[in-house]
Structures are given as structure tokens and as C-alpha cells.
Amino acid sequence: MKVLVIGAGLGGLSLARRLLDAGIDVSVRERDSAVESRFQGYRIGLGGPGLAALRGCLPERLLPLLHAIGGEMTGMGRMVDTQLRVLGEVPPKDEGTLFDRHVLRHLLLAGLDEHVVFDKKLDDYQELSDGRVRVSFADGSTEVADVVVGADGMGSTVRRQLIPSVQIRQMDRVGAIGRTPLTDRFAGLVPGWSTMVNAAELQLFLGKMPFRRVPTEAAAELAPDVTLPDTRSYLRWVMMIPMEYADNALELEGDPVAGLALLQDLVKEWHPDLRALFDQADAGNSGIGPLRISDPVRPWPTRPVTLLGDAAHPAPPGGLGANLAFIDGELLCRKLIAVNDGTEHLIAALADYEQQMCGYAAEALGYAEKFFDSLDEMRHAQQR
């Protein structure tokens, strides 16, 4: 059986690692020209089954390195006003581990060189009369596989062809995300797992990405064959901005410097430590743009083409997307192993995967919607 995974994000790479381990022929095709080709980094929190699924796709020998590049996610969450007066504290929802997406992606790529090809953007696919699938790429090349897995993220080209009815909606809110090198001054802003600055209509979420060890140094000692980027601990910030404050968000999407200028203007009356966050931000790792969401994706008529991760359950940032992508990879791999062993039929196995995956993903997406509803409630309460 030949499996073709479209997209070398967290989900696609974790699936590919598992399939290779199981001796299944798998190739990954990625649109970007290289792993470094654009802003790829922010912190993600993994816990429970998501973290277990990530660990399960890595060989035992890389687990000490995985631990070293993680950071603790503990302590109280705090809500403050724009002058840093404490408004309240909430216990942590989950204990877990923080990772930087970019560093993690490098780790997941380790040893996959001959299976992952960059600069291969899928254009479309065609089901063949023998049950296989032919995939066409933007460079004019084609490949044939028994199963195609669209792990190509929120804007998935595979999903648009497979389930054209799924609509991605723009929310009435813009998200700005970025990072600032972690100093003692900025670490003091986040004594626990997260701090939320609640302004009249804006919310700013702060979280540390405190690597247990500098990733390059940890790799040199624990797994010298693995190359990790030289990323240092940082403070991650995400600002939720009502659309009326940033109606040119679409133009700002590709212009981090202009995006930062907008943020500096929005916080000009705030506490100096908060203003300094944006003055000292790493512009190359910051961005702004409209937030997008979709209705829950329901099971679709099963084909030899399936979906995984954000492609299957598009969600706005900050939710459980990476956790779900790793869980999808584990479940889908189990199903494909059963097909390869001859104990399950391909279409029945994929149908079962899609049924289960759509179920748990819908719950998670509901959680994300509730989160945004609670921000709206807060905003309206303050307007009253």
C-alpha cells in the first residue's frame, strides 16, 4: 500500500513517522520551499492524549530531546487590566507541556529526509478506475497512491475538492500574534500558565515559552544527528481585536511591521511593561490577520482520500488543533496498519476513522466557539 500525505505540518509528519515505523510506504509532499521558508513558530500547549500521541510517534531515543525542548505549563492563570492591576485568578485548565511549533516540526522531520519533498504544491487529485488516486502538483508532475491524506491545514486544497460544502468563515475579529524575547521584566508579566490583559474591547493573552534547554544545545548533546533551529525562550502574545479597530487586517496580513505599528498604537496608554512588549517584539515572528472558523465538519462519503488535522477540523488559533492532529495521526495509522495487514478493508477503515475523528473534533471546535463567545460576553459586559 502506498500512502501519500499532503502537507508537512505537525499532523502530516506525525502520521508519516508512524507509518514508516510500521513498514508502510509513505511519502510527504509540502507546498513550502523549505522548513524555514516563512513564519512558522508560536507556542502550543499539549497535554493528555495529544501529548501521548506525539510521544508515540517518536522513537524512544528522541524522547529525552522532546522533554528538553518542552517547557512547563503550570501555575494560575491571571486576569489583569491595562495597568497590570490583578482582576482575578483562575486555576489552570490542564497541566501540560509547551512546545514551539517550529522547533517541534524540525524534530518531527528528523530522519524523514528521503520521504519528504518540499516545493510540491498539490493542485488537485483524480480517482482512477482501479481505485487508486492520481495527484497533480503545481509543477506539472503527478503521482499515484492507494491512499491520499490531506494534512494540508486550515485552507486545505484536498478538503475543498473532497467536501466542497465546508465553508471557512471570517470571524468579526482580527488576531495578532507574535513574540518578544523573554527577559526577567517580561517573565514577571506571566507568573503562571497565562495572563490575560482585559481592556475595554481588546484582549491580550500572554504566555511564556520557556525552553527547558536551548534546543540547539540539547540536540547537540542528546541527538547530534537532529538539527534544531536556534530559537530562544520568548513571551508569546496574542491580541484579539474587534474588526472595526483593524478594518485593513487583510492588507496587514503580509506586513508584520505595519501590524506591529497598529498594536503599538492600540496600547499607547497601557502600562510601560506592556508597551515595551510590542516595542521589543520580534517582527519576523509576528503577524496579524482575520480569524477564521468553520462549522463542524460532518462525516462525508468515504473515498480513498481522507483528511487529518486542521484540514479535517479547521479551528481558530489557540485551541486544541495540534493535540487533535496528533490524535488523528495515531488513529489513522492504526486503521491503515489494519488495511495493510489485510484485517480491514480500506474504505471501511477510513469510514471508521472519519466517523470517530469528526466526533471528537466537533466537541473541540465547540469549545473554541465557546471561548470566543465568552470574549464577546466580556466585551458587552464592559460596554454596559
User: What is the contact surface with ligand FAD in residues (CB under 6 A)?
Assistant: 6-12, 29-32, 42, 44-45, 101, 121-122, 151-153, 157, 177, 238, 309-311, 317-323, 325
Q: Which is nearer to ligand FAD, 123 or 221 (CB)?
A: 123
Residue 182: beta bridge partners?
none
Q: Which is nearer to ligand FAD, 194 or 302 (CB)?
A: 194
Cβ contact 174:247 at 8 Å: no
Q: Which is nearer to ligand FAD, 40 or 227 (CB)?
A: 40
Residue 155 CB, nearest approach to ligand FAD (Å): 7
> How far apart (Å, rounded) are the C-alpha atoms in residues 139 and 120?
7
CA distances from 186 to 82, 190, 289 (A): 15, 7, 25
Q: Which is nearer to ligand FAD, 11 or 77 (CB)?
A: 11
Q: Which is nearer to ligand FAD, 190 or 222 (CB)?
A: 190
Q: Please provide the size of the chain in residues.
A: 384
Tell me the Cα Rg of the chain.
21
Taking each helix axis from N to C end, the angle separating 10-21 and 101-109, rounded to the nearest 10 degrees, works out to 20
Q: Which is nearer to ligand FAD, 6 or 274 (CB)?
A: 6
Residue 377 CB, nearest approach to ligand FAD (Å): 22
Residue 149 CB, nearest approach to ligand FAD (Å): 10
Instruction: Give the max Cα distance, the chain.
Output: 66
Q: From the CB of residue 230, how many other CB atoms can be counted at a distance below 10 Å? A: 9
Q: Which is nearer to ligand FAD, 176 or 222 (CB)?
A: 176
Q: Which is nearer to ligand FAD, 8 or 239 (CB)?
A: 8
3-state DSSP call for residue 352?
Answer: helix
**Count of CA atoms in the C-beta half-sphere (13 A) of 29:** 24
Cα 122 from chain centre: 20
Residue 169 CB, nearest approach to ligand FAD (Å): 17
What kind and span of H or E run contains 220?
A: helix 215-222
Angle at 280 between CA 320 and CA 70, to 5 degrees: 35
CA distances from 266 to 114, 210, 260, 275, 377 (A): 47, 27, 10, 9, 21
Residue 314 CB, nearest approach to ligand FAD (Å): 9
Report the phi/psi class of residue 342: left, alpha or beta, with left for phi > 0 and alpha for psi in -120 to 50: left
Residue 220 CB, nearest approach to ligand FAD (Å): 26
3-state DSSP call for residue 294?
Answer: strand
Residue 258 CB, nearest approach to ligand FAD (Å): 19
Residue 381 CB, nearest approach to ligand FAD (Å): 26
Residue 138 CB, nearest approach to ligand FAD (Å): 8
Q: Which is nearer to ligand FAD, 99 or 270 (CB)?
A: 99
Residue 272 CB, nearest approach to ligand FAD (Å): 25
Q: Which is nearer to ligand FAD, 254 or 272 (CB)?
A: 254
Q: From the CB of residue 181, how many other CB atoms can be counted at a distance below 10 Å? A: 12
> How far apart (Å, rounded) are the C-alpha atoms in residues 268 and 45?
30
Angle at 168 between CA 166 and CA 171, to 5 degrees: 145
